[in-house]
Amino acid sequence: MAGKPQTLATTSAFEVLGPVMVGPSSSHTAGALRCAQVAASLVDGRVSQVAFTLWNSFAHTYRGHGTDRALVAGVLGLTTDDERIRDAFALADEAGLEYSFEVGGDDATMHPNTVDIRMESDTGAVATVRGESLGGGKVRISRINGVGVDVTGRYSTLFVSHRDVPGVLAALANLLAYAHVNIAFCRTYRTEQGGQAYSVFETDGAPADDVLAMVRGLENVDYATFISLSGAGAVVGPGVTAEELFDDGEQMLDACAELGLSIGGVMRTREQMLIGEARAASEMARVMSVMRDETSAPIQKPARSLGGFIGGEAKGIADASGRLAGALMGEVQTDAVARAMAVLERSAAMGVIVAAPTAGSAGVVPGCVLALADHLGASDEDVAEALYCAAAIGLNIQTGACVAGAEGGCQAEVGSAAAMAAAACAQLMGATPEQALTASSLAISNLLGLVCDPVGGLVEVPCQARNAIGVAAAFSSAQLALSGVRSLVPFDQVVHAMSEVGHALPASLRETARGGLAATPAACAACGGCR
């Protein structure tokens, strides 16, 4: 088998079906929060002043995506599923935290979702940090005080600022060995020989509390901190991989044949290898619980979004089902659409959702899977297996392309979600693994080139309606595959094509709110200059 890409080898299913987060955007809300959360932990003392400079997609859509609130919330130490994120400015005022935002503009040399963070602490410490939101809630710190680094916070991480002199790394390694802390990876970055250096240790589990104090007491160590992002989705230890069941879609089918399992069954087996059976069951139970609530509660009790563009549409779809469903979408698809739109309503009101694979596309998978499962009378085990199937498809897409609108357009978000849902629905209907993968290929093919053009920079219009279209694409693709329709282009090649198309899209059509529907006169008039 070919060498396994690191992202595929160590990524949990619950990094695809997750994070559990407050909306409206996994990259611009959850990811932004985590950038600031990691950055704040790198400063000695409590942050008292912070200035954020926003670049590229962040610069154009930060208000509508709640990026500004999320960044402040991250500095305050809130987690991605804390509903107080919406009140972050008030909480900052109460805590005496001074904050400001500056639009840096566009810079093609930077990641599409980049923020520079300058912090001052109550101890007088000053630090500048560059954070990048990679999509789906994943983040990377790429610069600290002008030094290029690579810190993700996905794993238990010890960060040490020290002088670049002989013996420091040996002393750190010896101390961690004494404390029975196993080092999985270690990287050191420095400004110049004999200058400032930063060492990053990814470890198997968090060290005891007294270890950090001992590290800070070492000669030539300026500062040390332990980074651990709660709810980061990474439930796998650094360097831990499952048996190489699959690297891509083709090999995933081989694994299904070898093990005699569905795609969902193979993914469940892989997950249990990674994190254990009990942990996998617990994580899936939480995902299913949040999905059931997010797809139902907004229909019973609608609420307006923060931007005011949506709210109540899901209930309207559900209420009109008896009159329209028989002639148009059908009962099950109508139910799925209502549920999917409900998720976007909750997300846009900064409620708690499951990103699957992103917040902007979070309604498609739960809407399709839960509506179909209820219609079939499927068990919780069947639902879990279908969600594992969706996660397997999403994992392969994340590895071969991307799921972030700022990188690949809406085809990367709703297109990916439709592919995940199509395979899951096909599996629920008894499809072979080949048919389920064909359903995914058809779904992506039919949404190829879909742009990301949020009106006013808000994850509301056209995002909510596109989740409904994602449901339609998923159901259609599943039925086509189950009926024997084949995809001329194999899944892996379809994913590659999606990646190439996404890179070819201009920046104006990749979550900057500067093109497509967002640039129409009606949209500009509706948002009133809110960008």
Span 115-139, average pLDDT = 94
Q: Indicate if the pLDDT at residue 1 is higher than 80.
A: no
Lay out the sheet containing 221-227: strands in order across.
Answer: 183-190, 196-203, 157-163, 221-227
The pLDDT score that the predictor gives to residue 237 is 60
Q: Which domains does the chain have, with CATH numbers?
A: 249-527 (1.10.4100)
DSSP category for residue 360:
G
For residue 516, give the DSSP letter.
G
For 27-63, how does the pLDDT look when each residue is reduced to its tens digit (9 = 90+)? Answer: 999 999 999 999 999 998 999 999 999 999 999 999 9
pLDDT at 2: 37
When pLDDT is cut at 50, 70 and 90, the band that residue 152 belongs to is confident
Q: How confident is the model at residue 101 (pLDDT cuts 50, 70, 90)?
A: very high
In this structure, what DSSP letter does residue 483 have?
T
Q: What is the pLDDT of residues 194-208, one digit of tens each?
A: 999 999 998 887 778
Alpha helices in 377-449 (DSSP H): 380-400, 405-408, 410, 416-428, 433-447
H or E segment at 92?
A: helix 88-95
What's the confidence (pLDDT) of residue 26? 92
Mean pLDDT calculated for residue range 188-198: 92
Between 222-231, 335-344, 353-362, the lowest mean confidence (pLDDT) is in 222-231
- The alpha carbon of residue 303 and the mean position of all alpha carbons in its chain are separated, in whole angstroms, by 24
Q: CA dist 486 to 19, 336, 348, 482, Å?
A: 33, 25, 37, 9
pLDDT at position 242 is 62
Mean pLDDT: which of 147-156, 243-252, 446-455 is highest?
446-455
Position 380 pLDDT exceeds 60: yes
Using a cut of 0.85, tell me whether the model's pTM lies above it. Answer: yes
